[in-house]
Amino acid sequence: MTRAVVVGSGPNGLAAGLTLAAEGVDVTVLEAADTLGGGTRSSELTLPGVVHDECSAAHPLAVDTPFSRRFDLAAHGLTWRWPEVQYAHPLDGGGGAAAYRSVEQTAAGLGDDGEAWRSLFGPLAERFDEITSDFMRPMLRVPDHPLLMARFGAFSGLPAVLLAHRWSTPRAQALFAGVAAHALRPFSAPMSSAIGVALGTAAHRYGWPVAERGSAAISGAMISLLEKHGATFESGVRVTSLDELDSPDIVMLDVAPAAAARIAGDRMPRRIARALTRYRHGPGTFKVDFAVQDGVPWTHEESRRAGTVHVGGSLREIAAAERLTCHGQMPDQPFVLVCQQ
C-alpha cells in the first residue's frame, strides 16, 4: 500500500490527507502542537463553557467547494450557521452600512450607491462557483472561464483605494474598505482590491458562516473522516527533516514556506528552496477574546445582527491605518475586525 505522511494538521493538511486516504493511501498526520487543527482550533479562553476560535472564525470560501461536495463533513459533526447580516461597518454618529446575502437588500441600504454595488457584485455572485473553480487551484493552465476571470480580474487588479471610489457615499466606501482590509495590504498597492472583491462576492453567494461549536468542528469533521479511512495521528511531534520520516512514498508539508525548505533540505531544488526562504509574512495581528453577555450594544443597529463587524472608520481612516501597519508602525486608530459568534 502507498504510504503518505502529512506534516501539519491545519485544514489544508487534513484536506490533503483526506483526499489521499479516500484513494486508498495509508496516511499518517504529524502535528508539532499538542492538539490537532492548526488555524481551526477552538477552546475555552475566557469563561468555562464559552468557546472561542483561536484563529479562523468565519469561512465564506469553505461552504461550497469541490472538496466540501465530495466529503460529507456534515455527517461527521460540521454544521454551518449564518448570521442575518454577513458583515457590517459602523460609522461615527450611529450610521453605517451592512452586507446581506442578498445583493438587492444590500444595495437598498446604500442609497445612491446601491446600483454601483449591484452592478459590481451582482454578476460576479451569480457565477461565483465558476470563478472559484478557477482561482482556487494552481494557475498552471488557461482558466476554464477566461472571460469571466477577466472581469473578476479587472476589478481585483485595482488598488483598493481606487476601486472604493466607484462609490460616492462614505458608508458604501467604508463597507468595501472594511472587507478589503482583510488583505492586510496598503490600499494603494496593485491588486489590493482582490480580497475585498472575492470576500464581498462570497458574502452574496455563500454568506460568511461560522461553524457551530467553533471552527474546531471543521477540523474535527475531517479528522473523523480520516479515521474512518484508517488514517493515524501523532501530536506533539515536531519534524525538522525528511530524514526523520520512515521513507514514505508521499510527503505533504502543511507548514510555513521557510519551514518547508528547512525540512526538505537538499531534496528540494535550490531555486524552489530560495523562493521559499525569501517569502515574507504579512503584518502580525493582535487578538483579544471577550465573553459578552447579550451582545455588543453597537449604536449602528445592523451591526448588532452581524456575524462580522469592521471597525475602522472611513475609507480614508482605514487606508491610513493599513499603510502604517504594512510599514511596521502601530496606528493610533487600527483597523479592528470583530467576530460575533
Which percentage of the chain shows pLDDT scores above 90?
A: 89
Averaged pLDDT for residues 194-204: 96
Residues 132 and 234 in one domain: no
pLDDT number for residue 143:
73
Cβ atoms within 10 A of the Cβ of 17, count? 29
Residues 33 and 119 in one domain: no
Owner of C-alpha cell 471543521: 218
- Cβ pair 331, 297 in contact under 8 A: no
Is pTM beyond 0.85? Reply is yes
Q: Which of 278, 303, 324 is the last residue of a domain?
A: 278
CATH number at residue 269: 3.50.50.60
CA nearest neighbour of 319 among 195, 174, 121: 174
Write out the residue range of the structural domain in which residue 237 sits: 3-57+215-278
Establish if 230 belongs to a structural domain.
yes
Residues 175 and 315 in one domain: yes
- Cβ pair 90, 300 in contact under 8 A: yes
Establish if 242 belongs to a structural domain.
yes
Largest CA distance in the chain: 65
Give yes or no for residue 2 having a pLDDT over 80.
yes
Could you report how far apart the first and last alpha carbons of the chain are, in Å? 43
Give yes or no for residue 296 having a pLDDT over 80.
yes
Q: Which of 258, 278, 298 is the last residue of a domain?
A: 278
pLDDT number for residue 317:
98
Give yes or no for residue 66 having a pLDDT over 90.
no
* Span 154-167, pLDDT tens digits: 888 999 999 999 99
Domain count within the chain: 2
Residues 291 and 243 in one domain: no
* Span 166-185, pLDDT tens digits: 999 999 999 999 999 999 99
User: How many Å apart are CA 15 and CA 70, to the nearest integer?
Assistant: 11
- Residue 185's SS3 state is coil
User: How many Å apart are CA 239 and CA 249, to the nearest integer?
Assistant: 17
**170-180 vs 194-205: helix axis angle to the nearest 10?**
100
Q: Which of 235, 255, 278 is the last residue of a domain?
A: 278
Cβ atoms within 10 A of the Cβ of 314, count? 16
pLDDT number for residue 231:
98
Residues 139 and 187 in one domain: yes
- Cβ pair 148, 127 in contact under 8 A: yes
Establish if 66 belongs to a structural domain.
no
Averaged pLDDT for residues 38-48: 96
Half-sphere exposure of 132 (CA within 13 A, CB side): 21
User: How many Å apart are CA 177 and CA 317, to the nearest integer?
Assistant: 10
Q: Name which residue leads in pLDDT, 67 or 151.
A: 67
Residues 194 and 122 in one domain: yes
Residues 39 and 185 in one domain: no
Residues 121 and 265 in one domain: no
Give yes or no for residue 123 having a pLDDT over 70.
yes
CA nearest neighbour of 55 among 219, 280, 275: 219
Averaged pLDDT for residues 16-45: 97
pLDDT number for residue 140:
65
Residues 44 and 191 in one domain: no
Give yes or no for residue 5 having a pLDDT over 90.
yes
Residues 256 and 154 in one domain: no
- Cβ pair 229, 27 in contact under 8 A: yes
pLDDT number for residue 56:
94
Residues 133 and 242 in one domain: no
Give yes or no for residue 139 having a pLDDT over 70.
no
